[in-house]
Structure 1
């Protein structure tokens, strides 16, 4: 997410985390939404670059990638939590 800057990353991360929270029917706070969105975008971008050799560009593309990544992180968190 280096192309959109720090402020844009925080805004995009918060929005992506909030959308993922609604999709996955999770109950998170604003700070965790931002973290999930940013980390989710990093994870999903890494997966996309590894598999396809490129990622989605622009604000909308990064939002889509961040939402997918945040949903993936919520899902993995539930898997880990369910085992303990």
Structure 2
């Protein structure tokens, strides 16, 4: 199931989990879900988004691309994301 997740969007007291096939809504905040998932595979890229690093197709300074989805990358999270990519932790 975790491998099917493309990205997760936090919306106050619930999250929307996006997979290839569907969107799932759960009553949990983004901080809680971030503590429960594999941090080697999932990475926070903004205040409201966590992405699965496996399906990432590319990225630039402001956006992570997963297939046809454009995920905004926050300034606070950008350096960590780029450092993980540079260290070979992310394989694109």
Q: TM-score, normalised by structure 2?
A: 0.24
Q: TM-score, normalised by structure 1?
A: 0.25
The structure richer in strand per residue is: 2
The structure richer in helix per residue is: 1
